[in-house]
Structure 1
Amino acid sequence: MNNMKLIALLPDLASFILIVEEGSFTAAAKKLEVTPSALSKMVTRLEASLSVKLFERTTRTLIITRAGQQVYDQAVIMVNAAKQAVELSVSDHTEISGALTVAAPEAFLNSVLQPFVVPFLKQYPDIQLKLRVADGEIDLIRDNIDIAFKLTDKPDENLVLKEIGSTNLVLCASPDYIQQRGMPSHPNQLVEHDCLYLAENDRDHIWDFFKDDEFHSVSVSGRYAVNHSQMRLTGVKNALGIGIFHDFVIADAIKNGEVVPVLANWTIKSNYHGGVAMQYAQTKYMPARLRAFIDYVSDALAEKLE
């Protein structure tokens, strides 16, 4: 029997189970709010579909046949499995539990998201959280990701967008480096300096600068390139050159005097500038765990990313 025919039989099998358990058509019909004759026709239809006789019927008694007992035993398993599937589906959208996979760029994950992980998991003890570093392009469906954080002004139009803030790019260098090599006063002077960049994409060594009506695109170079923000920051702190960072990565180092801003009166753009957003697949029924995460992170990060 193919799946479509089997699915069509499920309502009849469920009614058949109730007849067996109630012991009569009348009692079962009352629970189902149908007439006994309607149930009788249903049993006749089910017997024809299965090519077996399910009951021996007399005027006073209803006796299940041997074949009917076998059908009953298997039908109970099937209907219970269907119930469990429905219950799981319902709980997925009402109970805040289950696995949640979140992807984010390394710098954002380490500097911004990481401090909120433990409090979130303590508030929702039935959620299993999986964090994945994703600095390159990702496919949420292919990579089995529930939600992704993106730092870009070009979000994926095929996904739901939840904006949570913005971020700026900052150039900085250590006081020792500035003392040794001098402070650049114009973007074009960067070609005379050692610069640390991501080396993740072909254009990462091209830094674009804007101020009023001016625009300058500078091809920088240096002895050290690394696509890990903390390693790049360590290099900058140790006077290896001028580095480019998101403001949330470099804020503490600037505050502590470990590095100083460079060309602070210019706006810098690269592949990684723009808004900070969460993106997830469009769904009519959002799992409760995903909604809980979105709400929690939106509230937690709103002030931090102002």
Structure 2
Amino acid sequence: MDKNKIIQLLPDIAAFVTVVESDSFSAAAKKLGMTPSGISRQISRLEKELQVQLIKRSTRSQSLTHAGQEAYQYGKNILQNAQDVVDLAANHTQEVEGQLTIASPKAFCRQVLQPLLLSFVEQHPKIKLKIEVTDKPIDPIYHDVDVVFKLTNKPQANLVAKNLATNHLVLCASPQYLTQRGMPQHPKQLVDHDCIYLGETIVDNQWRFKTDNEQVTVTVNGRYIVNHTEMRLEAALNHFGIAVLPFFVAKKAIESGALTPVLPHWVLLDNYQGEVFMQYLPNLNMPYRQRAFIDFITEQFTCAENKSLMNAINSL
């Protein structure tokens, strides 16, 4: 079939896809602003040119033939490619506008991302930024999210994964608490201390540590158990005990001397740490607003004026 004939069939292919997705000729006709008989003629013309039946029709129902199922998938791809062309043209207007949805863990969003997000919105007055703040797993496809931030060592395999930084956990307590109770020299000494831990699962009070030469698990106890990072921070600042915190949360308090690192030469093995990834669906023609956001965040984590942000996460 020559190219001119294929071009002539494009409206019929679009009508066929609309009929399948609308599940009736009348509904498709209403969507396309046509009559049901006009839609029927387009489908018949398409079947004649392809020399195959696409839809089994009866007075009460319609169903796709095997060839119709294949034709629908190809036709749907044609329309999607056409939409991508339209979107590509819109993207080249270089206008950052429309809604963008992102998701991020709570503490990371509050302590690190929030000032960057406010700056992005301030720079682009036509953007509408929707932020999902949650520690639950987020899948961009299922949850309809454009960009998701994850603190993990295993980024989601089917997504683009841009590594922004590294996060680790730190144990810390107030100098007043440590003066009264003493500074632990080994993880096993934590059993004699009040420890502030998550309490989301029955194993959250089992802290695992390692050095180059040793690995140990300690069951800790304490009077204040909370699964909110900033509340654990406040409890540590108020001398309630030794808290486990992401370093980017404890950084300012440690630098000011309000908190002191505990067992800094031991690595705490736990969740909520690892690489900081920005993940999104692979898309050669992604909306310009999404590309602008990804480039903005990447720049914020790498440019010289925000190098302290990286250092806050990467090193103690």
Contact kept, 8 Å, 2:87 with 2:285, in 1: the verdict is no
Which residue matches 2:112?
A: 112
- The 2-side partners of 1:145 and 1:236 are apart by 35
- The 1-side partners of 2:297 and 2:159 are apart by 18
What are the within-5 Å matches in structure 2 for residues 202-213 of structure 1? Answer: 202-213=202-213
Task: Count matched residues.
Answer: 235
Q: Post-superposition shift, 1:232?
A: 0.9
Q: Post-superposition shift, 1:224?
A: 1.5
| Secondary structure at the counterpart of residue 301 of structure 2 | helix
Q: Post-superposition shift, 1:9?
A: 7.5
Q: Post-superposition shift, 1:190?
A: 1.0
- The 2-side partners of 1:128 and 1:91 are apart by 21
Contact kept, 8 Å, 1:204 with 1:271, in 2: the verdict is no
Which residue matches 1:255?
A: 255
Contact kept, 8 Å, 1:194 with 1:241, in 2: the verdict is yes
- The 1-side partners of 2:257 and 2:245 are apart by 16
Q: Post-superposition shift, 1:204?
A: 2.8
Amino acid of the structure 2 residue aligned with 1:268: L
Q: Percent identity?
A: 44
Q: Which runs of 5+ in 1 are unaligned?
A: 12-45, 51-83
- The 1-side partners of 2:267 and 2:14 are apart by 65
Q: Post-superposition shift, 1:152?
A: 1.0
- Rg larger in structure: 1
Residues 118 and 210 (structure 1 numbering): CA distance in 2 closer, same or farther, change over 3 Å?
same
Contact kept, 8 Å, 2:87 with 2:287, in 1: the verdict is no
| Secondary structure at the counterpart of residue 305 of structure 1 | helix
Q: Post-superposition shift, 1:10?
A: 7.2
Backbone CA RMSD of aligned residues: 2.6
Which residue matches 1:8?
A: 12
Does residue 1:152 correspond to 2:157, yes or no?
A: no
Q: Which stretch of structure 1 is more off in the superposition, 154-163 or 136-145?
A: 136-145
Q: Which runs of 5+ in 2 are unaligned?
A: 1-8, 16-37, 43-81, 312-316
- The 2-side partners of 1:289 and 1:268 are apart by 39
Residues 69-124 of structure 1: per-residue CA shift (max 9 Å, x gap): xxxxxxxxxxxxxxx97786235533321111111111101110111122211222
Amino acid of the structure 1 residue aligned with 2:91: H
Which residue matches 1:167?
A: 167
Out of 86, 90, 93, which is 2:91 matched to?
A: 93
Residues 207-229 of structure 1: per-residue CA shift (max 9 Å, x gap): 22111121112222212122221
Amino acid of the structure 1 residue aligned with 2:276: V
Which residue matches 2:239?
A: 239
Contact kept, 8 Å, 1:167 with 1:305, in 2: the verdict is no
- The 2-side partners of 1:233 and 1:10 are apart by 58
Residues 87 and 153 (structure 1 numbering): CA distance in 2 closer, same or farther, change over 3 Å?
closer
Contact kept, 8 Å, 2:184 with 2:263, in 1: the verdict is yes
| Secondary structure at the counterpart of residue 129 of structure 1 | strand
- The 2-side partners of 1:198 and 1:227 are apart by 4
